[in-house]
Structure 1
């Protein structure tokens, strides 16, 4: 398949160095885009002081907006007074100043003479009308002006909404969508020019409806969050905690936009901040950023606002057992039906929340989006719902829900008496294999045909779309499947290996499956890609599968499994054809070791990678220690192996995790030759291209080293001395010290002189021996059982 992409956007200016503007600039730099960050000239001193302060603040923010510290150097600070000439080289200018139309209009007039003739100007407004802004844009720019709405924080939030104006050229939007998708790794939806666009319009409506129904049904805030979080397929922050995380002042600002601009909306009476919320804001209790909002933590206790008194009370109450039981039903239609039929206040509360969102999206679809798919993606990507609201309605039984909504409208139970649109009763849903409904034309709208989406072989789907074709099976066992993508997706002829285990953990059948798949690839195919359609790449060894042997004391069986793990890593590394790992999400422990042995890795930029075995009282024994020992030997200058090895060692001993693929590369889990992509949906396409390219150039596997030098017992002693300091300083426990010594002795080659030549098998044998020694220790067993039971490490 040939994909031709024209990408003229190479340099970007961001106007406004506030929280949002600075973070947009940070993400542009994350993507390797030359970026200029503008703000007003400072009254005194350095004229770029405002932008420089914003850049300094980027280094302190959590979660980190920069994927590595060095990315700050990709942003040039500037000001409107002396630096406007810098705009001439920019292909895209993103305005992100305060939400004042007059201020924005003045700025557009000031910058217009300095923009290149091809440059796109886009406003990151979240509340102002794009058409109203366009009316204040100089005539020569109007065909290249549009709205672009990033979600906060821009590095982590997948959604970007694009909003056209009547005068905006189609190719401007296409170029921008291609840039956002490919270079910034975003999911783009095109919104109509209506207040708060799609995601905030629906998401904030849902939160306001939830707040209203919580009051009407007498449901506590903590119980509301227990009901409207993961139990309903939504983030852990649920409703009230989400408001705290976003910032109560920010939430109130979005609500006020709806109050001021949606006066004709039939639900307008709902669009107001509750009195208790206004009181919190007036008191400076703005949520997470001020450490006090709807919730606040006092010691280990989480307190919750009681809106009736304005005082904080003990929080942490959960939903009733009866309603929790109803929510466990995996049949969504039956679950919703049981909620509606129940007389329990919590059940009626949930039904009311669902019903009013469905009622609202049906009425507003024609005003906010070109199709229902964009609404569902906007809510999934912008608010973290597992399914969008139209998908949930369709899953609950379209006509059944429509009839129930009509019944509640007639009974006066809904938040608005507005009737459902006629098209609702004439359909069985809005998503079909042919496309998703446009409420204005009543046509089904298919997916975008922009060439950039040809790179997404398995893009996100909505319920009701055609099921993806995962090709023909080449080989399969209980834990893995080797398959060939259909020819309509790719002509590369590169097979894919996918794990079928929970969190793609690694047990005996995964190890056997990898080895067999490599043998097949070596005989019949140009290479092999290890890829899963969902994150994570792998959380490492399947501790549960080790349970029977562990409990019975069959350590010989466990040692055989460790040997097979090492054998599998070596099979990946020395395969006669390239094995490429395509990683997203977590790549921990054995998953990280597999990637370390791949001919190449294609990693999504938000891959979190590390050798974290210390957390369960163990050490890397799938070849991780061996690879670091070998790399240190090869990279050492003047025989100083320890100088290179110490950083690798600390990464393992401290279970250091790269919090981006770029950090993983800097630590050494990923190689410099590995490829980082911004959009996770492009992983398979790029990984197959890597295999094809390596095969086309006559791939040669690495030569097994007959011997390489190690740091020896003196190197291990030096590391041990550092560990003593860490132990005495309280940074590690005594057992961490013990594990750290074992790792040091492995990577230094054991009880040998510095500079002794060893082979890979020597280090692998040390890995196995020390791993098995730890496995038989009581403290390691405690850590393993704690991880299995609580899914978090125990430091004993």
Structure 2
């Protein structure tokens, strides 16, 4: 099959979803045209322009960097439809009204190239019915493409074919979405609300039903249905506010209008209180109030008994909390079902009814149970999907409990569980595949070539684990291993510490791994699941401070610096495969590797100032080298202007909000690789290490004559700090810490433009770090961070 080439995308509809889909295409460097209606007054493209301007202000940010907006052109349906001929992929994302969509299709169809893909980003309308609105010749290139909100951050995209959709086109689109946009794809059937929304909205309706039945508060339910049961912090009712109560009501309305024969149909309606809030314009987060609202600094929640708002403070009962902390799923569910406590009865009921619903509808809504579970993970943020949860708790025991509740009239529907549930099985996910009720068989994973790039795909419970590789050496802190089937001579170094913090064992491991790589391998990749590394092991540091072991700490910092220098000057290329947090020492390791391969969602920064310290693992040194390199190409060769931004970045403990921003801030280079699908990170890093080795890699020499800003640079930084302190923007201790950062970044108390060695800069870093570490205020900051996870501004 020839590769699908998408050079330009059009998005029809500049609403919240359309604009953010356009933004994510722009993040990927794909030029996109954002269309909407002609404005009634002024610039005809005013609606689209306003939407692009709004992208720069939204949080969480749809744009990976603000300048990505340059890849979005604006247009309108009145005068610009001819621009559609330039586009290889057209995504329609207007309001969920069938007649509006069909009217738009008729208008744009004459301008769509025969080879272009046309896709509707509907959340639940019939794709077959929408396809009927396209010219017959264009229907092979038509499909559903359902992004989840917000498109940049939500992994799931549901692809929905019609009877006419070209299978090869859909395979190509899945491949492009997976690698170029970093999405996780589920092929959904053309049924109302598809897979994730069908199950997810039913789950919300079940929660609403049992909330009312048991008389629980909305905040109490959110305390129960969040992380304690493997769901997002926003739980149920906060999620409804975030999504928008009108949006939720619309999706429920779709189920009510299109699923009259569903055995749970009587529950497909919006509660009176929800309709009341919508009528008042209280739609949730976007209107500053819905189920929850903020009164001053107090979060309040709707109280149905009083028809007003009260302070939010729902809590989980101790006896129910004790059940939820049971690590044995079978025991946990048995205890929930047996308990008389309303909260326990509620939890058993919502799980039971979702299990029941998913089993009954599996054959209708999804190809297999794996697709349901992954859709709920990727689209709703569940830690485990419904079938995984059921399987973990004991398939037959749960099945019998559901059957008993159905017989007793306690379940939401009297519909019987399907026969396959009781066929003697113990699982729906097995080594051979996941159960398909439609075909009565186990379905293996997709064989599309793009998934060969995911060496460690996200697994569902019961699947066969991928190749764990061959261990070459390990200690308490790290594992050095390889994948002989891929490239036996590229080593992979994985940290084993909690949050991949860098302590003595990890430092020992890095030293040993590099020595072994230089002796026996062609390259070394640092990779493990996110986070990349959260920095130094603060607990070890705090304990050593308390015991007064500052000589040991000085040696530890020196060893950290040596490890960083080994990464940079190793005889074989070192590649840092970064995903998630790369903070403090983790950032310094990444900065000094030969090359970086970063997942788009990489949050990189030198954050030591937050605990009253400065970067001392070579991070300051790397910024000094960057400044010197840039100054050498500028008129006059003055270093300070190129160091000034680095000073602000380090002193403010700025963390990049994407890998693209990490490049802007100097934590990564423009030549580094940015991968949109984090599951492809290791694949790309291994190939990059191999390419560097094949190119005859030679390490950079240790610099001996680096021009630095010196005393004049320090003085200039001090003037900025004095103004900030006097303006009340920083504390006296912030001033002290920031001055130490300035000293390190300016190369110490030396003459301006003096030339020093890399080791000199490292020695300055370490000396400033140790001076701060011995102070009471910095030690207070470290302890506070360990106890609260938040910085102390003392």
Is the 1:5–1:452 Cα contact (8 Å) retained in structure 2? Answer: no
C-alpha distance in structure 2 between counterparts of 1:491 and 1:655, whole Å: 38
Question: How much does 1:59 deviate?
Answer: 1.2
C-alpha distance in structure 2 between counterparts of 1:5 and 1:765, whole Å: 56
Query: In the alignment, is residue 120 of structure 1 matched against residue 122 of structure 2?
Result: no
Which residue of 1 is the match for residue 601 of structure 2? 606
C-alpha distance in structure 1 between counterparts of 2:498 and 2:297, whole Å: 32
Query: In the alignment, is residue 22 of structure 1 matched against residue 8 of structure 2?
Result: no
Is the 1:530–1:579 Cα contact (8 Å) retained in structure 2? Answer: yes
Which residue of 1 is the match for residue 522 of structure 2? 526
Question: How much does 1:256 deviate?
Answer: 1.1
Any residues of structure 2 matched to 1:685-696 within 5 Å, and which? 685-696=683-694
C-alpha distance in structure 2 between counterparts of 1:44 and 1:593, whole Å: 53
Which residue of 2 is the match for residue 632 of structure 1? 627
Candidates 746, 749, 770, aligned match of 1:748: 746
Question: How much does 1:273 deviate?
Answer: 1.2
C-alpha distance in structure 1 between counterparts of 2:314 and 2:138, whole Å: 55
Candidates 573, 582, 594, aligned match of 1:587: 582
Question: How much does 1:253 deviate?
Answer: 1.2
Candidates 31, 35, 45, aligned match of 2:42: 45
3-state secondary structure, aligned to 1:94: strand
Which residue of 1 is the match for residue 65 of structure 2? 68
Question: How much does 1:493 deviate?
Answer: 3.4
Query: In the alignment, is residue 405 of structure 1 matched against residue 412 of structure 2?
Result: no
C-alpha distance in structure 1 between counterparts of 2:540 and 2:732, whole Å: 29
Question: How much does 1:548 deviate?
Answer: 2.8
3-state secondary structure, aligned to 1:302: strand
Is the 1:469–1:486 Cα contact (8 Å) retained in structure 2? Answer: no
Which residue of 2 is the match for residue 539 of structure 1? 534
C-alpha distance in structure 2 between counterparts of 1:671 and 1:354, whole Å: 48
Query: In the alignment, is residue 99 of structure 1 matched against residue 102 of structure 2?
Result: no
Which residue of 2 is the match for residue 331 of structure 1? 328
Is the 2:226–2:233 Cα contact (8 Å) retained in structure 1? Answer: yes
C-alpha distance in structure 2 between counterparts of 1:31 and 1:306, whole Å: 45
Query: In the alignment, is residue 289 of structure 1 matched against residue 292 of structure 2?
Result: no
Query: In the alignment, is residue 322 of structure 1 matched against residue 322 of structure 2?
Result: no
Is the 2:221–2:314 Cα contact (8 Å) retained in structure 1? Answer: no
Question: How much does 1:260 deviate?
Answer: 1.2
Question: How much does 1:719 deviate?
Answer: 0.8
C-alpha distance in structure 2 between counterparts of 1:776 and 1:155, whole Å: 43
C-alpha distance in structure 1 between counterparts of 2:171 and 2:417, whole Å: 34
C-alpha distance in structure 2 between counterparts of 1:776 and 1:332, whole Å: 48
Is the 1:478–1:500 Cα contact (8 Å) retained in structure 2? Answer: yes
C-alpha distance in structure 2 between counterparts of 1:454 and 1:463, whole Å: 20
Question: How much does 1:486 deviate?
Answer: 4.3
Which residue of 2 is the match for residue 501 of structure 1? 497
C-alpha distance in structure 2 between counterparts of 1:494 and 1:192, whole Å: 42
Question: How much does 1:309 deviate?
Answer: 2.4
**1:291-347 C-alpha deviation (Å, 9 max, x unpaired):** 211112223322111012220112112111111111111111211111111111111
What RMSD, in angstroms, separates the aligned Cα atoms of the two structures? 1.1
Candidates 277, 281, 297, aligned match of 1:300: 297
Which residue of 1 is the match for residue 772 of structure 2? 774
The structure-2 alpha-carbon separation of the partners of 1:491 and 1:568, relative to structure 1 and needing over 3 Å to count, comes to closer
Is the 2:39–2:45 Cα contact (8 Å) retained in structure 1? Answer: yes
Is the 1:470–1:486 Cα contact (8 Å) retained in structure 2? Answer: no
**1:53-101 C-alpha deviation (Å, 9 max, x unpaired):** 1111111111111011111010111111221121112111101111122
Query: In the alignment, is residue 276 of structure 1 matched against residue 273 of structure 2?
Result: yes
Moved more, 287-296 or 678-687: 287-296
Query: In the alignment, is residue 616 of structure 1 matched against residue 611 of structure 2?
Result: yes
Question: How much does 1:190 deviate?
Answer: 0.5
Candidates 434, 437, 452, aligned match of 1:436: 434
Is the 2:606–2:650 Cα contact (8 Å) retained in structure 1? Answer: yes
Question: How much does 1:492 deviate?
Answer: 6.1
Question: How much does 1:191 deviate?
Answer: 0.5
Is the 2:578–2:597 Cα contact (8 Å) retained in structure 1? Answer: yes
Candidates 445, 448, 452, aligned match of 2:446: 448
Candidates 502, 508, 511, aligned match of 1:512: 508
Is the 2:482–2:488 Cα contact (8 Å) retained in structure 1? Answer: no
Candidates 736, 739, 747, aligned match of 1:738: 736
5+ residue gaps, structure 2, are none
The structure-2 alpha-carbon separation of the partners of 1:85 and 1:332, relative to structure 1 and needing over 3 Å to count, comes to same
Query: In the alignment, is residue 202 of structure 1 matched against residue 203 of structure 2?
Result: no
Using the size of structure 1 for normalisation, the TM-score is: 0.98
Using the size of structure 2 for normalisation, the TM-score is: 0.98
C-alpha distance in structure 2 between counterparts of 1:296 and 1:45, whole Å: 36
C-alpha distance in structure 2 between counterparts of 1:128 and 1:749, whole Å: 63
C-alpha distance in structure 2 between counterparts of 1:299 and 1:113, whole Å: 54
Is the 2:542–2:779 Cα contact (8 Å) retained in structure 1? Answer: no
C-alpha distance in structure 1 between counterparts of 2:380 and 2:536, whole Å: 32
Aligned pair count reads 790
Any residues of structure 2 matched to 1:570-585 within 5 Å, and which? 570-585=565-580
C-alpha distance in structure 2 between counterparts of 1:771 and 1:641, whole Å: 23
Which residue of 2 is the match for residue 130 of structure 1? 127
**1:193-236 C-alpha deviation (Å, 9 max, x unpaired):** 11111111101111110111111122221121111111101111
3-state secondary structure, aligned to 2:479: strand
3-state secondary structure, aligned to 1:609: strand
3-state secondary structure, aligned to 1:650: helix
**1:687-744 C-alpha deviation (Å, 9 max, x unpaired):** 0010010011100111111111110111110011011111122221211111000110
3-state secondary structure, aligned to 2:145: strand
Any residues of structure 2 matched to 1:180-219 within 5 Å, and which? 180-219=177-216
Is the 1:267–1:415 Cα contact (8 Å) retained in structure 2? Answer: yes
**1:446-486 C-alpha deviation (Å, 9 max, x unpaired):** 11111111111111110010022211100100111011124
Is the 2:542–2:782 Cα contact (8 Å) retained in structure 1? Answer: no
C-alpha distance in structure 1 between counterparts of 2:779 and 2:462, whole Å: 47
Is the 2:574–2:595 Cα contact (8 Å) retained in structure 1? Answer: yes
C-alpha distance in structure 1 between counterparts of 2:361 and 2:302, whole Å: 33
5+ residue gaps, structure 1, are none
3-state secondary structure, aligned to 1:495: strand
C-alpha distance in structure 2 between counterparts of 1:220 and 1:449, whole Å: 47
C-alpha distance in structure 2 between counterparts of 1:85 and 1:706, whole Å: 60
C-alpha distance in structure 2 between counterparts of 1:540 and 1:18, whole Å: 40
Question: How much does 1:5 deviate?
Answer: 7.4
Candidates 746, 762, 765, aligned match of 2:763: 765
C-alpha distance in structure 2 between counterparts of 1:421 and 1:10, whole Å: 47
Question: How much does 1:278 deviate?
Answer: 1.3
